[in-house]
Amino acid sequence: MGLHDRPYWQEDAPRRRQYPGGGGGFALGLPRPGRVVKWLLILNISMFVVQLIFRFALKVSLADYLGATVGAYWQVWRYVTFQFLHDSSSLWHLGLNLLGLYMFGTPLEQRWGQRRFLEFYLSCGVTAGVAYVVMGSLLGLPRMIPLIGASGGVFGVLLACAVLFPHFRVILFIFPVPIRLAAVLIFGGMILVVLSSLSGQQVSPMFWSHVAHLGGTVAAAVWLWALPRVKLRPRGGPGLASRLRRGAWRRRMERRRRRQEQIDRILEKIHREGINALSRQEKRLLHEATREQRHEDRELYRL
């Protein structure tokens, strides 16, 4: 993303301000990450420190216990925990992922809100782990080689930004390019590596990384193009979720109407013949109706 494309360079940006007493100066600051992006950054950094402590003090690799592996495919928590682990022998793995999360996650969280962004990010990461495990099972990957890293979710965020913010520009091989062109080059390169490896029957560590990256990208594509179609509404009509809620409400009202008719008949029978004339089932229905009414009265009182 180029400098002049960033929100804090715009004229109405709250982070741009005039110096006191100055005519044309301004203070420049980096965009402040949203709450979710901030805590994701903190959690990744904290886990990296924990990894270092376990590695050097206890001689234990957390990746063996929290990374996504073919042999432990059934341990579902690994599909989340692996996203917060990184190669403890190099800062590049952590640094590049956090830079991507910060640069692309910040505007996306601002656009979508905290909950939707977090669900999107984690689901992309989970799908990346699943893609790695499935492909590893099919190709005979050693069972306990762990997948770690946040890049599955980060590449999903990159695709979302390429779709939603086409005016962004990114630095690719020292050249600023439109984000959509960068996305085409990056994902196209990944696909070529995966296909060439499969056709040549020789796979490298880069192959497995790209399998996971593309898994996260596929999840992002589902979020961006498939899920909105499920929520499509007829022209001038309510959406699917609204129609489902309306249908449930109508069924609930119909059940209440039938129950009220039964209660009316029971009350009429009591008026004619007395309460002792009621059957056991009629007494049970009357008792349940009284209890439900008391519950509704208490709920109304709380409101």
Q: What pLDDT score does 229 carry?
A: 80
Domain residues of the chain, as ranges? 3-13+31-230, 240-302
Query: Each residue of 41-79: pLDDT tens digit?
Result: 999 999 999 999 999 999 999 999 999 999 999 999 999
CB 285 within 8 A of CB 263: yes
- Measured between alpha carbons, how far is 262 from 282 in angstroms, rounded to an integer? 9
> What is the value of pTM for the model shown?
0.69
Give the orientation angle of helix 91-112 with respect to helix 114-139, to 10 degrees. Answer: 130
What type of residue sits at position 262? Answer: Q
What does CATH list as the number for 3-13+31-230?
A: 1.20.1540.10
- Is the per-residue pLDDT at 22 higher than 60? no
Q: How many CB atoms lie within 10 A of CB 176?
A: 13
Model confidence at 29, pLDDT cuts 50, 70, 90, reads low
Q: Encoding tokens for residue 64? A: 């063996």
Query: Each residue of 201-255: pLDDT tens digit?
Result: 778 889 999 999 999 999 999 999 998 887 545 454 555 556 556 666 777 788 7
- Measured between alpha carbons, how far is 159 from 191 in angstroms, rounded to an integer? 14
- Is the per-residue pLDDT at 39 higher than 90? yes
Q: What pLDDT score does 297 carry?
A: 52
- Give the mean model confidence (pLDDT) for residues 174-192: 93
Q: What pLDDT score does 26 carry?
A: 35
Q: What pLDDT score does 252 carry?
A: 74
Query: Is residue 44 helix, strand or coil?
Result: helix
